[in-house]
């Protein structure tokens, strides 16, 4: 199992050599678990003491209101981390639910062992903590970017903002988004049918072209 972690391209391990990573992980401790699509990794209000790194598959971060309406806050794919914001907090209570959106293999790392130097005082431990802080900062920036998207007044404005972010992230006017129509509607907090109609209108108006999850922003 350790060999699998040597191949993980997570920013959590940035600046840490493979040989150092192996010893550090052995000292910190970890678990690797398989999850099926639809399986809950952690419920809202559950105590979170581990951070997860997606080795394969994907995990959704969901917020549900008292009426059962769900909002997709984020989707984590290969090498991405989740749960760090809550596990790092004082009360360690999750404000969201983490659910598997595609059969996944996840490595779970106890955060208390990350935050505090191990008995062997690994030289790379400080780098690990620094990487964790950077990841949390980047996640906060992504959250602000999402707020900018969903705060737009119309579905078209939300779609244009979202597609613009994706195009910039992939540095191309032709790109693939990670969400299907239902997930995209949940992410943008709009009705799926209305979203589909607006996409057709935007294509008819010459703003975009698309085929399933592949989009192209057209020159104006």
Which tokens in the block code for residue 94?
């999750």
Q: Are strands 97-110 and 31-35 parallel, antiparallel or unpaired?
A: antiparallel
Q: Residue ranges of the domains in the chain? A: 2-148, 152-217
Q: List the beta strands (DSSP E) in 45-180.
A: 50-64, 70-76, 81-82, 97-110, 174-176
Domain covering 152-217 in this structure, CATH number: 1.10.10.10
pLDDT tens figures, 140-166: 888 888 999 999 999 999 999 999 999
Residue 166 near residue 215, CB atoms below 8 Å: yes
pTM of this structure = 0.81
Q: Where does the pLDDT of residue 118 fall: very low under 50, low under 70, confident under 90, or very high at 90 and above?
A: low
Q: Which residue stretches of the chain are H helix?
A: 2-6, 18-28, 84-87, 111-115, 125-150, 155-170, 181-188, 192-204
Look-up of token digits 């005082």: 121
The length of the chain in residues reads 220
pLDDT tens figures, 38-60: 999 999 999 998 999 999 999 99
CATH topology of domain 2-148: Jelly Rolls (2.60.120)
């Amino acid at each position: 199992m350790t060999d699998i972690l040597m191949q993980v391209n997570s920013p959590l391990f940035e600046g840490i050599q493979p040989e150092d990573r192996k010893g550090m992980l052995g000292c910190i401790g970890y678990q690797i678990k398989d999850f099926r699509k639809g399986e809950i990794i952690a419920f809202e209000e559950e105590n979170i003491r581990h951070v997860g790194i997606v080795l394969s598959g994907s995990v959704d971060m969901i917020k549900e209101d008292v009426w059962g309406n769900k909002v997709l806050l984020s989707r984590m794919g290969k090498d991405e981390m989740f749960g760090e914001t809550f596990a790092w907090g004082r009360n360690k209570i999750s404000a969201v639910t983490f659910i598997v959106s595609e059969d996944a293999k996840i490595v779970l790392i106890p955060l208390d062992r990350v935050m505090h130097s191990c008995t062997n005082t690994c030289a790379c431990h400080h780098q690990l903590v620094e990487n964790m802080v950077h990841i949390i900062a980047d996640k906060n920036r992504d959250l602000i970017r999402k707020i900018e998207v969903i705060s737009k007044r119309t579905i078209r404005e939300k779609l244009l903002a979202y597609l613009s972010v994706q195009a910039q992230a992939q540095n191309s006017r032709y790109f693939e988004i990670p969400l299907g129509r239902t997930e995209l509607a949940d992410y943008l907090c709009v009705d799926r049918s209305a979203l589909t109609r607006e996409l057709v209108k935007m294509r008819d108006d010459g703003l975009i072209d698309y085929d399933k999850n592949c989009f192209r922003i057209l020159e104006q």
